[in-house]
Homo-oligomer: A and B are copies of this chain.
Amino acid sequence: MHVPFAELKALLESIFERHGCTPAVARVLAANCASAERDGAHSHGVFRMPGYVSTLASGWVDGKATPEISDLAAGYISVDARGGFAQPALAAARDLMVAKARAAGIAVLAIYNSHHFAALWPDVEPFAEQGLVALSVVNSMTCVVPHGARKPVFGTNPIAFAAPCEGHPPIVFDMATSAMAHGDVQLAARAGEAVALGVGVDGQGQVTQDPAKILDGGALLPFGGHKGSALSMMVELLAAALTGGHFSWEFDWSGHPGAKTPWTGQLLIVIDPQVAQGQRFAQRSRLLLEQMEAAGVSRMPGARRHLERERAQREGVAITASALQALRDLLT
C-alpha cells in the first residue's frame, strides 16, 4: 500500500496526541518518524511507534514537557528538556541556534534531561538545507562493550553530520558507533536473520550471530574496534558529561515497565561556512562529491534516503496493510 506522506504524518500526530503529547510535541515527533519511514530508514520509522506509545503509557517520558532554554554565551545554548523528548527541545532552540551560528560563526546546543528515540539525521539535515554545517551526537542506553572490556558501558551513541552541497541535496550521514544500530538488530531478530560476525556477543560474552541472543542479555560491539570505541566514548563525554545529561548507564527505568527511550543528552554543533568561505563551501563540497563519484562511489551518504524520498513524493509512502492497521489500532 502507499499512503501520502501528509496522511501518514497526520496519523502519527494523532497517535502521539492520543497518548499524552501536546499538539506541539506530537507535530515534531510525527514529522520525524514519518520522514524516517518515507526515506526508507525503517529502523527509525513506524517500527518505533509501539515503543513510543508504551513509553508514554509508562510515565517514563513527559509528552507535555516544555523545554527551558538558557542562552549562556555568544555561541552556547543549553536546553533542559525537562524529561520530555529531545526533538521538541531542539525545535524550541532552533531559531536562536541558527542566529548564534550565523553571528558567532559557530554555536553549540546542549540538550539534557531528554529522551531521543529517533534517527539523528533529521536533526542535522535541516541546518545543511540552510547552508550550515551541523554535527550532532546523542548517547543512549548501555548495550555496547568498550574495546578491551568485558561488560557493556556505552550506548549505540550515533554521530550525524550534514553539509550543504551546491546543486545537490545536503551530504548527510548518521552512524551508530556500534557495529550495528540497535533498531537494525531488532529488525534482524524479528526477521529471524543472522547478523555479521563482530556485531555482538551473547550473555556470556561469546561472539554470536544470533540477534536474539545479542538483545537478550548480550551486547553489541563498537564498529571498527578501538577506534569506534574511542568515538563512542567521545559521544558519552559530549552528549552526557558536557550537556549535564545522564551517561548511558545512569538511568533506571525498572519502575516504568514499557519504557523504551533512553533518558540522556544530545549535543549539536553548527558552523556557518559563509563566515570565511561565502558560497565557496558548497561548491567545494560538490567538487568532493564529484571526485568520490569519479573514483567509483556509487552511493553517497544520504543519497538512498533522497531517492526513497523522491519516490514517496510521487507514489506515497510504502507501507503494508498490517503495519497501517497496527498504527490505527494505536489510536484506540
B75 touches A75 (CB 8 A): yes
- A interface secondary structure, majority: mixed
Q: What sequence of 0s and 1s flags, for each residue 284-307 of chain A, a beta carbon within 8 Å of any chain B beta carbon? A: 110110011001111101000000
Q: Which residues from B are CB-within-8-Å of A269?
A: 106, 269
A241, B146: Cβ atoms closer than 8 Å: no
Question: Which residue of B has the minimal Cβ distance to A289?
Answer: B233
Partner of A223 from B78, B163, B224 at Cβ < 8 Å: B224
A280 and chain B: residue at smallest CB distance = B244
Cβ contact within 8 Å between A108 and B105: yes
Name the segment of A85-93, A148-156, A252-260 touching the other chain: A148-156
Q: Which B residues touch A117, using CB under 8 A?
A: none
Q: For residues 262 through 281 of chain A, which have their beta carbon under 8 Å from a beta carbon of chain B?
A: 269, 271, 273, 275-277, 280-281
Does A175 reach chain B (CB closer than 8 Å)?
yes
Q: How far is the CA of A243 from the CA of B110 in the complex (A)?
A: 25
* Contact between chains at B276 and A244 (CB < 8 Å): yes
Query: Chain B residues near A225 (CB, 8 Å)?
Result: 223-224
Min CB distance, A144 to chain B, in Å?
11
| Complex interface bits, A76-106 against B, C-beta within 8 A gives 1, otherwise 0 | 1010000000000000000000000001111
Shortest A145–chain B CB gap in Å is: 7
Let me know if A230 is at the binding interface, CB within 8 A.
Answer: yes
Interface pair A276/B110, CB less than 8 Å apart: yes
Is there a chain B Cβ closer than 8 Å to A33's Cβ? Answer: no
Residue A234 at the B interface, CB < 8 A?
yes
- Contact at B149–A74, with CB atoms within 8 Å? no
Min C-beta distance of A6 to chain B, whole Å: 31
Identify which of B104, B150, B237 contacts A76 (C-beta below 8 A): B104
User: Which residues of chain B come closer than 8 Å to A296, judged between CB atoms?
Assistant: 148-151
A194 to B201, CA, bound (A): 29
A150→B247 CA distance, assembly (Å): 41
User: Is A163 in contact with B237, judged by CB distance below 8 angstroms?
Assistant: yes
List of B residues within 8 angstroms of A288 by Cβ: 233, 236-237, 240-241, 247
Complex Cα distance A231/B227, Å? 11
Is A47's beta carbon under 8 Å from chain B?
no
Give A226 to B179 CA distance when docked, in angstroms. 11
Residues of B within 8 A of A110 (CB): 276
A119 at the interface (CB under 8 A from B): no
Min CB distance A321 to B, Å, is: 33
Given the contacts A76-B105, A76-B276, A242-B273, A249 and B149 also touching, CB distance less than 8 Å: no
20 sample A-B contacts, Cβ–Cβ < 8 Å, listed by A number: A72-B275, A73-B104, A73-B275, A74-B75, A76-B106, A78-B276, A106-B269, A145-B295, A149-B292, A151-B295, A161-B234, A175-B230, A224-B227, A233-B292, A237-B285, A240-B284, A241-B273, A241-B288, A242-B271, A249-B291
Given contacts A78-B276, A163-B237, 14 further A-B contacts (CB under 8 A): A75-B75, A75-B107, A106-B107, A106-B108, A147-B297, A148-B298, A148-B299, A150-B295, A173-B233, A224-B227, A227-B228, A236-B288, A242-B271, A242-B276
